Amino acid sequence: MEVVIVPDAKAGGELIAEAMARLLRRKPDALLGVATGSTPLPIYQALTAKARSGAVDTSRARIAQLDEYVGLPADHPESYRSVLRREVLEPLGLGMEAFMGPDGTAEDIPEACEAYDKALAEAGGVDLQLLGIGTDGHIGFNEPCSSLASRTRIKTLTQQTRIDNARFFGGDIEQVPHHVITQGIGTILEARHLVLLATGEGKADAVAATVEGPVAAVCPASALQLHPHATVVVDESAASKLKHADYFRHTYDNKPDWQGI
């Protein structure tokens, strides 16, 4: 696992957007797995700026969704499909034909979950998967004690996650669905490159458990330790509880020129 400590969220966004741009230059139709939440927004802004300045052509990029609320109409402003259309697809000039995601409105949710895993595989797999992290260490919506081998499936949100996400629903926790579809941890681990961004002090405990704790279902993000190409980008606050922070700085400062994230 590579850990990169950046001064702030903007620098993290820029670093990751550059890695995505490099991938798209090499593979213009790369399948980019994208995450929601506030943390990845600086990545999308930086990538959009690169696309608009002509530094990268995103016109053939394909976008895959990580997770979705169950029961919110697809056109609800806070369905993750709507959020991604607003924050990623439209700014990059992509239409919904470039998008794939699980159907949170399906009558048969288990079937929709299976169909999504199949669709990801048929699309050739995710090239680069962006991840945020919940305060409890969740990735996607894989709450603590999710199987590290799990596939895309329905999950029940913890009360803490519903509290954390109420801010997107006018602060009203009653509006936050209880159920979600999320790529499983096993599904996420199939992406070729995992890039997790965490910013702010509120994520410091989860980051320490992810990077320096044991691989354990109680901290789903710790599964990144099992992946051959996982990058964790953290700002100084999110890095504040890492015992090996100096080593991570030293490693990054001395990395060979040819090695991007």
Ligand X SMILES: N[C@@H]1[C@@H](O)[C@H](O)[C@@H](COP(=O)(O)O)O[C@@H]1O
Give the residues lining the site for ligand X (CB under 6 A): 35-39, 66-67, 132-134, 140-141, 161, 165
Tell me how far, at minimum, the Cβ of 211 lies from ligand X, in Å.
16
- State which residue, 18 or 67, has the beta carbon closest to ligand X: 67
- Give me the residue label for tokens 């999308």: 44
Tell me how far, at minimum, the Cβ of 63 lies from ligand X, in Å.
15
The rounded distance, in Å, linking the Cα atoms of 93 and 214 is 41
Among candidate residues 103, 136, 164, 235, the one labeled active-site is 136
- State which residue, 40 or 62, has the beta carbon closest to ligand X: 40
- State which residue, 56 or 208, has the beta carbon closest to ligand X: 208
- State which residue, 92 or 133, has the beta carbon closest to ligand X: 133
Among candidate residues 103, 143, 164, 235, the one labeled active-site is 143
75 part of the active site: no
The rounded distance, in Å, linking the Cα atoms of 47 and 45 is 6
136 part of the active site: yes
Tell me how far, at minimum, the Cβ of 199 lies from ligand X, in Å.
8
Among candidate residues 14, 117, 138, 193, the one labeled active-site is 138
**HSE-up of residue 186 (Cα within 13 Å, Cβ side):** 10
143 part of the active site: yes
Tell me how far, at minimum, the Cβ of 20 lies from ligand X, in Å.
17
Tell me how far, at minimum, the Cβ of 122 lies from ligand X, in Å.
23
- State which residue, 102 or 134, has the beta carbon closest to ligand X: 134
Among candidate residues 67, 87, 127, 235, the one labeled active-site is 67
Q: What are 156's strand-pairing partners?
A: 179
Residues tagged active-site? 67, 136, 138, 143
